[in-house]
Amino acid sequence: MTYFWFNIALVLAVALVISLRKRREDAKDFTKELRSRKADLPAAQAAHEREISRLLDAFPSPFFSISESGNIIRYNQAAASLFQDRTILNRSYRQVFIDRDLCGAIKEARETQRPKSETLRFNSKSPFATAEDEKQDSVWEVNIQAHSVTKNEREFQLLMRDITKATYSDQVRQDFVANASHELRTPLSIIVGYLENLLEPGGLEQTDIAEKMLLTMNRHVERINCIVEEMLVISRLESPDAAPLNIAPFNLLSCVHDVVEQLDPVIERQKATVKIDVPSIEMRGDSFYWTQILFNLVENALKQNATLPFKVTVTAQEIPDNQIQITVTDNGIGIPSADLPFIFKRFFRVEKHHGQNVIKGTGLGLSIVKRAIEAHQGTITAASTPGQKTTFRIVAPL
């Protein structure tokens, strides 16, 4: 009996030893697996960060992650391109952005823990300067939210969208309406006023006065037609749905003669001189727009120099790479250097010298010229020495 219980005890002891060994081995395996997972954790975190970076780089707009302590801990490729070679990672957002309004918006979002959206303007010295004109501010839409990409700590996500072009496009449209309304209102008011006078009893009996009124009305009707035509032309050139150019061979010399013939009454009235030094060159292009280009350049020169002994020279010559160079040069009052960068902008009108008012016109003529030349894959530049010489130089495929 004693032997029986001894065997039972021995079996239980062996089973207990085996169980303890199994548990120890399982514990070792678990510890080993835990260590392995801990070793793999940095790699997993790095892979996670790479995936986040890849997704953020797909954003076309700058993106920044700001830690609770205020350091930039993550940004995308669009953000990096703004700061170029500057180191911004792990630096305070105040040191990186500097701008008071942007830093103030971030500070408010951090303190209130609420989303923050603002439209901010940045000058030409800011990393966020994207305006084509250095004198213009760049406009950005800023969105800040308290949201953590990882669970390690609280983060603030800053997303910026460049709306500079859209903002100034809206401004251009507003200027277009304002300028067009102003330019049309003046001749229409004169026409309406004269019509009221002529329709009064006996208004047509004084034939001399009536004839002067009718001539003035006719002149202003022509001005309205000119304004409307210019607006239609610039609209066609800038519309994405514009019809393609009517490309066909035409003679450049004939085109120049047509322009001078159209402007002949103005040339005679101002006692101006127009010299043509253009060979009989055949070009391929839209003759309607080339006539418009040359007409606007010559008329613009005449308009700016209505009271001076004035000379305009139109020249053309073939240049390498199967191109043509056309120049329109005058000896008039010229264009101030401060105005030269803006003369091809819509509705821009050059101010006269000595603080006088601006040259009359819609401010669309040179804008039409530039866009029509660009539609022919050409370029135009302007140079001027006030009081001596002004030259517009066109280079385009022959």
CATH number of the CATH domain containing 140? 3.30.450.20
User: Are residues 385 and 260 part of one domain?
Assistant: yes
User: Running DSSP on this structure, what letter comes out for residue 351?
Assistant: B
- Quickly list H helices, the chain: 2-57, 77-83, 93-97, 100-112, 164-199, 207-238, 252-269, 287-304, 365-375
Look at residue 47 in the predicted model and tell me its pLDDT.
66
User: Are residues 377 and 258 part of one domain?
Assistant: yes
Of 162, 185, 214, the position where a domain reaches its end is 162
Look at residue 356 in the predicted model and tell me its pLDDT.
44
Residue 376 domain-assigned? yes
Distance spanning both ends of the chain, measured CA to CA? 122
User: Are residues 197 and 228 part of one domain?
Assistant: yes
Residue 368 domain-assigned? yes
Per-residue pLDDT of the chain (398 residues; tens, 9 = 90+): 555 554 565 556 556 556 666 666 666 666 665 565 555 556 666 666 677 667 777 778 899 999 988 999 888 888 888 888 788 899 999 999 989 999 999 999 988 888 999 999 998 888 888 887 777 889 999 999 988 766 667 889 999 999 998 888 787 777 777 777 777 888 888 888 888 888 888 778 788 888 888 888 888 888 888 778 877 777 777 766 656 778 899 999 999 999 899 888 888 888 888 899 989 888 998 888 899 899 989 988 888 877 667 889 999 999 988 899 999 998 888 888 888 888 887 767 665 543 344 445 566 788 888 988 988 899 999 998 888 889 999 999 98
Of 135, 162, 189, the position where a domain reaches its end is 162
Separation in Å, CA 249 to CA 254, 279, 321: 12, 15, 18
How many Å apart are CA 25 and CA 17, to the nearest integer? 12
Q: Which residues does 168 contact at the CB level (< 8 Å), separation at least 6?
A: 131, 136, 139
Tokens standing for 327? 């120049």
H or E element at residue 379: strand 379-385
User: Are residues 258 and 277 part of one domain?
Assistant: yes
Of 211, 238, 265, the position where a domain reaches its end is 238
Residue 40 domain-assigned? no
User: Are residues 374 and 303 part of one domain?
Assistant: yes
User: Are residues 172 and 121 part of one domain?
Assistant: no
Look at residue 4 in the predicted model and tell me its pLDDT.
55
User: Are residues 340 and 265 part of one domain?
Assistant: yes
Full domain range(s) for residue 344: 248-397
Residue 19 domain-assigned? no
Look at residue 9 in the predicted model and tell me its pLDDT.
55
User: Running DSSP on this structure, what letter comes out for residue 150?
Assistant: S
Residue 5 domain-assigned? no
Q: Which residues does 165 contact at the CB level (< 8 Å), separation at least 6?
A: none
Tokens standing for 42? 């940095």
Residue 32 domain-assigned? no
Look at residue 48 in the predicted model and tell me its pLDDT.
61
CATH of the domain at 180: 1.10.287.130
- The answer to whether 251 touches 276, Cβ cutoff 8 Å, is no
CATH of the domain at 310: 3.30.565.10
Amino acid at 97: F
User: Are residues 214 and 258 part of one domain?
Assistant: no
How many Å apart are CA 46 and CA 393, to the nearest integer? 57
How many Å apart are CA 394 and CA 383, to the nearest integer? 12
Label the pairing between strands 248-251 and 282-285.
antiparallel
How many Å apart are CA 374 and CA 282, to the nearest integer? 19
Q: Sort residue 396 into left (φ over 0), alpha (ψ -120 to 50) or beta.
A: beta
Residue 47 domain-assigned? no
For 389, phi then psi, to 5°, come to -160, 140
User: Are residues 329 and 262 part of one domain?
Assistant: yes
Range 145-148, long-range pairs (CB < 8 A, 24+ positions): 145/109, 145/115, 145/116, 146/109, 146/110, 146/113, 146/114, 146/115
Tokens standing for 359? 């040259």
Tokens standing for 56? 């953020």
Q: For residue 370, how many other CB atoms are within 10 A of its CB? A: 20
Look at residue 27 in the predicted model and tell me its pLDDT.
64
Three-class SS state of 343: coil
How many Å apart are CA 274 and CA 256, to the nearest integer? 11
User: Are residues 352 and 222 part of one domain?
Assistant: no
User: Are residues 226 and 183 part of one domain?
Assistant: yes
User: Are residues 341 and 221 part of one domain?
Assistant: no
Residue 119 domain-assigned? yes
Q: Give the total number of structural domains in the chain.
A: 3
Q: Is 65 exposed, middle or buried (0-12, 13-18, 19+ CB in 10 A)?
A: buried
Tokens standing for 283? 């070009």
Look at residue 26 in the predicted model and tell me its pLDDT.
66
